[in-house]
Amino acid sequence: MSSTPTNSEPTRAARLLVVDDDEAVRLRLVDAFALDGYVAEGVEDLASARRELRSHEWDLVLLDINLPDGAGYELLRDLRAGNVRPAERSLAELPVVMVSGRAAEFDRIRGFEFGCDDYVTKPYSFGELRARVAAVLRRERPAEDHDPLELGELVIDPRSRKVMLAGRKIALTHKEYSLLSALAADPERVFERDVLLRNIWGYTGAGSTRTLDAHACRLRAKLSGGQHRYVLNTWGVGYRLRDREQGAES
């Protein structure tokens, strides 16, 4: 399972936590990622994963679903809800890649709805898994070449991932921030549902999933304290951040 590093890998040694109850799989992943220049460690259950997340700093979690003391979904849900929290920092936006033998569409959709950044099914090629991990890590690095984006009373700072509305800080989950950033790239454009699902959740088709609508609804509610409405739904098409009249006023 060893491999040759590629230019797609992050330049610094990212720390990966592998959560898998299969010792052989866990050790192979730890060794293979270590050969590629990562710092990787493995644990076998949810309790050990929670201890590691609270006591050490990690850049990404590779998370199996079937674990001895529960389902990986439980840890993912608690991370996104802010319930796994070391002192003085939040793990709500910690990248998580699900790695599971559950290949059914229901399981993949459930993983994305709980907030995973990617979903890889077993058996897999390590080359593809490594590329997906590198891609997620690239997306998660704060943008260094972009100034804060000001849209009237809404301010988005890519460096710190801080969002302010009318001078008030807005706390967003990882996916909510990703959706806001995607819409803010062209605030008055209607982004099609399948485009947002593909770029943010990795779906290859819109299907019948409601995850986009659920995230858009929560994001709209969090941005409801200002003078304008944000995250507008164009029925049957997709979402835009604001309307033309609002853009003219800002």
Looking at the predicted structure, is the pLDDT value of residue 249 above 60?
no
Q: Cβ atoms within 10 A of the Cβ of 193, count?
A: 22
pTM score, whole prediction: 0.57
- Strands 154-157, 191-192: parallel, antiparallel or unpaired by DSSP? unpaired
pLDDT, tens digit (0-9, with 9 covering 90-100), for 139-192: 765 444 457 889 889 999 887 788 999 999 999 988 888 899 889 888 888 988
At residue 89, the pLDDT reads 66
8-state DSSP, 143: P
CB contact at 8 A, 219 and 117: no
* 227 vs 127 pLDDT, higher one: 127
Sorted by where each starts, the structural domains of the chain and their CATH numbers stand as 15-140 (3.40.50.2300), 149-249 (1.10.10.10)
pLDDT band at 49 (very low <50, low <70, confident <90, very high): very high
- Residues of the chain with pLDDT > 70, as a percent, come to 85
